Amino acid sequence: MSRVDELEKENFDLRQLLEIGKSLNSTLEYNRLIDAILHTCLAQMRVLQAGVFVRREADHAELILNRDYIGFELDHSIPYTIPPNHPLRQQLIDRVDCYTPEELNAAIPAESPDCGLSHMPYQLVVPLVARSDLQGIIVLGRRIDDTEFTADERRYALDMGGLAAIAVYNAYLFDRATIDSLTRLKQRHVLEERMLQLFKHHGEQEQEQEQEPKQTPDPDSLSFLMLDVDYFKPVNDTYGHKFGDDVLRRIAEIVVQYTRPVDIAARYGGEEFVVMLPNLDAEGGAEVAERIRRAVEENRFCHGDKELNITVSIGVAEYTPTLDQLPGDLMARADEAMYEAKSSGRNRVVVARDNRQSD
């Protein structure tokens, strides 16, 4: 290859890496980022198998094989986990480089704990190092043409890993800033910001309706749930805050299970949760709330050999332009409906008075 050809190839690789960096850093949503990393590896490195070890959550130290790996046939009884004190991690930080299985086996002590890599038919490990720390590793498997990685390809993979590491680190920071560490739901401010955006969208639609009433469809519906755990303080006082935290985590899981990806669930504070339901009116919101209420009631909350009956009260309000000038107005009406559910016996769903079909 002539020097001109080499320079042209270097220039092409740099342009590719620039595009990869822009693509990976265009999202801070964790699952979408992992998916982008994996598919970038398939395309750029011409492999049939790819996986990523990353933290399950921002405050976890272990690196775990993300479930969205591609192509590998794995034994699911094996924990594919790299603990924080594993020699592999220090090796990849001290000498940031790509490693074949043979090179990795020679670099780390033979008595090192099994982290699952030996059960993956990989051809190359690519470290994700940013801020002087290992953010994860990419595991590349069999290539399309069954060839080995050249020195140039390994350097390219390492550069790509550096870009992926920065994107993963940024996603961790975003996760810390927007996710409630106990329940893994959104923090309250995230939901409020999204509500402001939707209120602005609805306001613009209403203005268009006034100007062109025959050509513009009705604004999309929007309903809001306010959920509170019944008699939660006695649970905390009697069984301890650790059990109370377990209850809140389980209820958060139920909320996520019975809502859609487009919905936004957040921890409002203490034992209160809120859910924003785009494109659902009060009737649809009440149906979602009832499914959540019933699932919590039927769940087994156990403290030792004692089973507790945990229930929730839920208020539902639908966005109404004449009543809801700000997100706080809608939230207040859902809150009022929730307190009506409390005062009328708890463990029930109540729709805000202004949104009831008949009172």
Q: Are 202 and 219 in contact (CB under 8 A)?
A: yes
Q: What is the pLDDT of residue 73?
A: 92
- % the chain with pLDDT above 90: 70
pLDDT digits (tens, 9 = 90+) for 164-204: 999 999 988 888 889 898 999 999 999 988 888 888 776 65
Query: CA 268, CA 328: separation in Å to the nearest integer?
Result: 13
pLDDT at 206 over 80: no
pLDDT digits (tens, 9 = 90+) for 109-165: 989 998 999 899 999 999 999 988 999 999 999 999 999 999 999 999 999 999 999
Q: What is the pLDDT of residue 308?
A: 95
What are the residues whose beta carbons fall under 8 Å from the beta carbon of 120, sequence distance 6 or more? 51, 72, 74, 80, 139, 141
Active site residue 307: no
Q: What is the pLDDT of residue 126?
A: 96
| Three-class DSSP category at 136 | strand
What are the angstrom distances between the C-alpha of 158 and each of 25, 101, 123, 238, 274?
17, 16, 14, 54, 43
In b/e form, how buried is each residue of 331-344, taking b as 16+ CB within 10 angstroms? bbbbbbbbebbbee
Q: Is the model's pTM score more than 0.75?
A: no
pLDDT at 50 over 50: yes
Q: What is the pLDDT of residue 337?
A: 97
Average pLDDT, the chain: 89
Q: At 348, list the tokens.
A: 């029930």
Strands of the sheet containing 264-269, edge to edge, are: 186-187, 264-269, 272-278, 222-229, 312-318, 349-351
The catalytic residue among 210, 271, 272, 318 is 271
In b/e form, how buried is each residue of 246-256, taking b as 16+ CB within 10 angstroms? bbbebbbebbb
Identify the structural domains of the chain with CATH numbers, from first to last.
3-178 (3.30.450.40), 186-355 (3.30.70.270)
Task: Give mean pLDDT, residues 59-79.
Answer: 90
| Three-class DSSP category at 255 | helix
Amino acid at 23: S
Task: Give mean pLDDT, residues 276-305.
Answer: 96
User: Kind of pairing, strands 349-351 and 306-308?
Assistant: unpaired
Q: What is the pLDDT of residue 323?
A: 92
Q: What is the pLDDT of residue 15?
A: 78
Q: Are 130 and 165 in contact (CB under 8 A)?
A: yes
Least confident window among 42-51, 195-204, 339-348: 195-204
